[in-house]
Amino acid sequence: MRAELFEKFHTRFGCPPEILSRAPGRIEFIGNHTDYNGGTVLGAAIDRSVWVALARRGDGRRRFASDGRDGDVTVSADRLEKLSGPPSWANYPLGVLAALPEFGLRAPAGFDYLAASDLPVGAGLSSSAAIELASALAFLAVTGQQPPRDTIVQIGRRAENDFVGVPCGILDQGVSGFGRKDHLVFIDCRGPRFKTVPLPPGAHFWIFNTHTRHALVDGLYAARHRECMAAAMAMGVEFLAEASPAALAAAAGRLSRLAGMRARHVIEEIARVGATVGAVRQGDLAAVGRLLTTSHRSSQTLFENSTPELDFLVDALVAAPNVHGARLTGGGFGGAVMALTSEIFGEAQACSVADAYLEKFGARPDRLHVQTGDGAELLRG
């Protein structure tokens, strides 16, 4: 991809890029909607990424292009306004530019910018965090700035929260920033604090993308965020991570049925994250798989961010040989399912699951066998 992006940039803009950067997508391994609730989460950076090429220009114009999209998005360096319609993909790098001064960092003035990706969009693999982190690295490199990695991660989150308008936690940007091949990333979101956990040999990941609607900005994600904050307030804590199962039981009379469901999911999911870390360290992939599937059932029945398509895939996968467990990955409301499998699970079995889905829903899900990968990096500059 590096040589290809270099050539495409030169063809599109008539000059070579000064900077190349890359940031991976991520699997939300377990910890669904726990991050903005102050909890813990496990994720894995994958071997699919968003790449950014950048070169300065002297006229104060910022020209954004994306491989595979027609036309450029051109804005003036003295204007930072949220875009709508087809150009709205550029809100992610624009949000990064808007966030940089909030961390005491300079934003570059005029530049040409080209993004390319081998990461499926809308599959719950956080292409948004990948483009934010790759953009941040490029903007910082071209201005000669080197803040700590956790600051870069926070810049990406600020861009998505305040400019794009998705009230996500630190999971997506944290895993993209701190990923390491053959490891999971553990995040204590109250710090936030990041560390890696070695994966046992033989862990394989399959992603099944349903292509059903996965529009977090449309309000479903924001609604769950509001419901969790309301539940925490009713329980007298700042975040649901501060509440125990006993506290939840004691607060039953103060919580609506809906608030109680949301709180129970988050509190129990945080406990599942801790149990998963223990099972991973013991090399017990069967136990890890059971925790993943239990996580999905909680998303399905308590948090209600699953869909019939996702539920069907989980049912089909956990019934298949050589599958340890499966769950939705990402914010939910459509998107993708992740399966943790042994090395024996292969394309033939994946096709069988996809065929069953086709018969049920009239469309075939994409299948993606991914491996873990390293986090965001500057490649040239």
Positions marked catalytic: 172
Q: Taking the alpha carbons of 207, 213, 218, 221 in that order, is the dihedral positive or negative? A: negative
H helical segments located in the chain: 2-13, 91-99, 127-142, 149-158, 171-178, 220-235, 245-250, 257-281, 285-298, 308-318, 347-361
DSSP label of 136? H
User: Are the beta carbons of 224 and 232 closer than 8 angstroms?
Assistant: no
Q: Are 181 and 49 in contact (CB under 8 A)?
A: no
Q: Say if CB 110 and CB 57 are below 8 A apart.
A: yes
Could you give the CA distance from residue 86 to residue 346 in angstroms, rounded to a whole number? 37
In angstroms, the CA 160 to CA 215 distance is 14
Q: How far is Cα 115 from Cα 95, in angstroms, rounded to an integer? A: 15
Q: Do residues 280 and 197 touch, judged by C-beta distance below 8 A?
A: yes
CA distance 295 to 267: 12
